[in-house]
Amino acid sequence: MCRFWFFVISYPIFSFLLANSARLDNRQTFIVKTQNDLKPSVFKDVESWYSATLSTLDSKKFNSEKMGQTEDVFHVYKTVFHGFSARLTPQEAKELEKHHGVIAVLPDEIRHLHTTRSVQFMGLVDNDRSSNLLKESDYGSNVIIGILDTGISPESASFHDQELGPIPSDWKGECMEGENFTKNLCNKKLIGARYFTAGYEENLDIMINGSNQVKSSRDTDGHGTHTASTAAGRMVPNASLFGFAQGTAVGVAPKARIAAYKICWGEECRESDILAGIDKAVEDGVHVISISIGGTTTRPYNLDPIAIATFGAMTKGVLVSASAGNSGPVTMSVTNTAPWITTVGASTIDRRFPADLILTDGTVITGASVASGNWSSDYTNKFFPLIHGRNASKGQIRSLRSATCMAGSLDEELVKGKIVICDRGGNARVKKSEVVDNAGGVGVIVSNVVPQGEGLISDSYIIPGMLITESASKKLQEYMSSSSKPMGKIVIRGTQTGIKPAPTVASFSSRGPSVETAYLLKPDIIAPGVDILAAWPDSVPPNAIASDPRRSSFNILSGTSMSCPHVSGVAALLKGAHPDWSPAMIRSAMMTTAYMSDAKGEPLLDEQSYNESTVWATGAGHVDPGKAVDPGLVYDITVNDYIQFLCSMNYSTQAFKRFSPKPVKCDKKQNKPWNINYPSISVDFGESRSSVVVTRTVTNVGEGASNYNVTVVSPKGVNITIEPQTMKFNEKGEKQSYTVKIVGDKVSGSLGSIETRLGKLIWSDEKHIVVSPIVVLWHYDLF
């Protein structure tokens, strides 16, 4: 009778009851890593083994099965990560760790999303040299990019398949049907789509079917559509956001195939679902994974499910490109720092969307905006009173909530008919315009505060609005303090190109050094990530504000979420041009050909202050696709090389099993952290004078016979010698090694500080220039 009742009750109701009963007994979701070669032969498959293992836990019997899994198992991983995700109490999780074949039980944590001309700016259009990359790779037509994000809008013109050839023969994926998403929405461009809800649903009070989310691969957020079209969108003429950035929109690899894996619901991305997406993407046959997602903090690689999963992807030959994070300009804020991940920071391009705040004393304060609406001339031609949010608090109580224009914090009587100044932070910039609008304000000025500096981002406010810099904010406050009746008007100027200097490092782009190790230069590289125009779902407001009636097929976003797919697209082109290159070789080609100076030959600046940028902001430099297709020499990294690097981190035997099911043999001579065969060199000296010998091995991918000579630019206070100083190659594919002896003098510094010195070594055969940054770091009781 009970079994009959189980089948007739509706699935959503049953799941709702199960989820809520689970909460009552303190259950949480966990990711369980297993060693599958230890599965007893009595079990026909891993699912039955997992079920039996869970059934032995004291606090609950796991007897019922659904779709081959226990009720509390909601994901099974089989490709890059062996194991499952399940709902357990903390006590059950601890007990499970003791079981035979269980390597680790990790909490299922939340990750968050990190957002036309950029392709031209990178030299992929109207540039003969760079066009060679497009031609050699056939625009990426045989390469599949897996986009792990919020899904995709399949109807977008950016994903049409006209004049595309057959789907690559190694594709094994599918177009998964779901709510408002049928198989026929996939084509020869969008070749696959899947969605993963279980981890998200296990942590909700109701199922997705009962929420405002769409249970399918359809993008109801916009982020996934934007990143997918940035990486590989087709050419679409007359694209713009309400007339801003008008022109032809095209992705970096316009013929590359897209497979969409929806693993985020809103801005919440459960690690268990991300892991399922990576696992399935590799099984499906993608060549590149693009993931614009990260945490707010970093964890040791052996405790990070994403680092473990992407290690598995790397062993299968899949390049993983990930966003560095948007926590800049704070140092040591970079995320996704595992050495097998290509970590991407953000830069500006030579296009801006200026807006002016004109004050009654004639002062003009310039900021940025793509605000557009059917506003009357009274809004655009008339001066309005100015008031700061902190002076418009409900109950006359000044607070951070009112200063930053948080929901419900503003007094309508004080705000009505005025332009409100809101400090940045607390809530989304565009959300502040909604708060001001609801309180009766007619405009919004969002002000950068320390340490955001001079960085500008253009947003689509629902009322006339703009972002101003930190220095402009101080000027505005001086005016308001000196004026008895401060007034101003907002003028949106439109699109401006040819901006200099460009590129600069975006102020929000997360910075190194990595918390996990100073022996890796992270981010690896930077790429366009500010004010990027790309495809957008027609059903989604451009600013994610539900009350906004405006719609557009394209949107302008900023973030390392936007820089990551630029590099994913470049990686796809390089893979198309060089199918035999490993992920490490592709990353090396991008890093050693990156540039550290702008079009005038001046060092790249940091948008936060417009001072010279640091290597912890730029990594190896700005990606240069045209040069990356023919780098001359590359630094390859094998699975064992990565293992030896992990050996240097003194992981336990149990921790190593999370990366390799086979016993690991650490080589004491090889496993020095500075000896990982990375294109950059980073060493950490502590407080005293030190020396270290670094070994690197290069592979000749250029012409068969060539001679490379080395040039060294030593960091200040450091002496560097290279042996040998000439490398002679007889054939393509030949490998040669060299050593770098680095001797550093003692550098003074305050307690807890980091002192960094930058140099570089350059190998050249007069045709190719192969550059490796050399970073020498002194720390003072910091690590």
Neighbours of 482 (CB within 10 A): 9
Which one from 108, 149, 548, 630 is the annotated catalytic residue?
Answer: 149
CB-hemisphere CA count at 13 Å for 139? 15
Spatial distance between the Cα atoms of 766 and 100, rounded to a whole number of angstroms: 59
Which residue from 563, 637, 638, 628 is spatially nearest to 592, judged by alpha carbons?
Answer: 628
Token code pair at residue 701: 């991918």
Write down the catalytic residue from 82, 114, 223, 578.
223
Alpha-carbon distance of 589 to 584, in angstroms, equals: 9
Q: At what angle do helices 560-577 and 128-136 cross, to 10 degrees?
A: 70
User: In this structure, are residues 553 and 229 in contact, taking their beta carbons and an 8 Å threshold?
Assistant: no
The answer to whether 145 and 586 have CB atoms below 8 angstroms apart is no
Cα separation, 556 vs 579, in Å, equals 33
423 catalytic per annotation:
no
Helix orientation angle between 583-592 and 560-577, rounded to the nearest 10 degrees: 110
CA distance 187 to 183: 9
Query: Residue 263, CB half-sphere, CA atoms under 13 Å: how many?
Result: 31
Name, in order, each residue with C-beta under 8 angstroms of 361's C-beta and a sequence gap of 6 or more. 479, 483
- Closest Cα partner for 684 from 641, 718, 731? 718
Euclidean distance between CA atoms 246 and 234, whole angstroms: 16
Q: Would strands 754-764 and 769-779 be described as parallel, antiparallel, or unpaired?
A: antiparallel
Alpha-carbon torsion (523, 525, 526, 527), positive or negative: negative
684 is catalytic: no
Of residues 143, 134, 32, the one with CA closest to residue 81: 32
Measured N-to-C along each axis, helices 560-577 and 223-232 cross at an angle, to the nearest 10 degrees, of 30
Q: Where does residue 133 rank: exposed (0-12), middle (13-18), buried (19+ CB within 10 A)?
A: buried
Q: How far apart are CA 416 and CA 404, in angstroms?
A: 17
Instruction: Say what the alpha-carbon torsion angle 612, 616, 622, 628 is, to the nearest 10 degrees.
Output: 140
CB within 8 A of 355, min separation 6: which ones? Answer: 366, 367, 368, 369, 371, 466, 490, 491, 492, 493
> In the annotation, is 768 catalytic?
no
Closest CA to 521 of 636, 646, 645, 616: 616
Residue 323, CA distances (Å) to 177, 262, 270, 642, 660 in order: 29, 17, 17, 21, 25
107 cis-preceded (ω within 30 degrees of 0): no
Yes or no: say if 659 and 561 are a contact pair by the CB < 8 Å rule: no
Q: Are 532 and 457 in contact (CB under 8 A)?
A: no
**Residue 502 CA from chain centroid, whole number:** 21
CA distance 37 to 46: 10
Peptide bond into 451 cis (omega under 30): yes
What is the C-alpha to C-alpha distance for residues 667 and 129, in angstroms, rounded to an integer? 43
Which member of 447, 473, 561, 568 is catalytic? 561
Residue pair 81/275 in contact (Cβ under 8 Å)? The answer is yes
Q: Which residues are catalytic?
A: 149, 223, 561
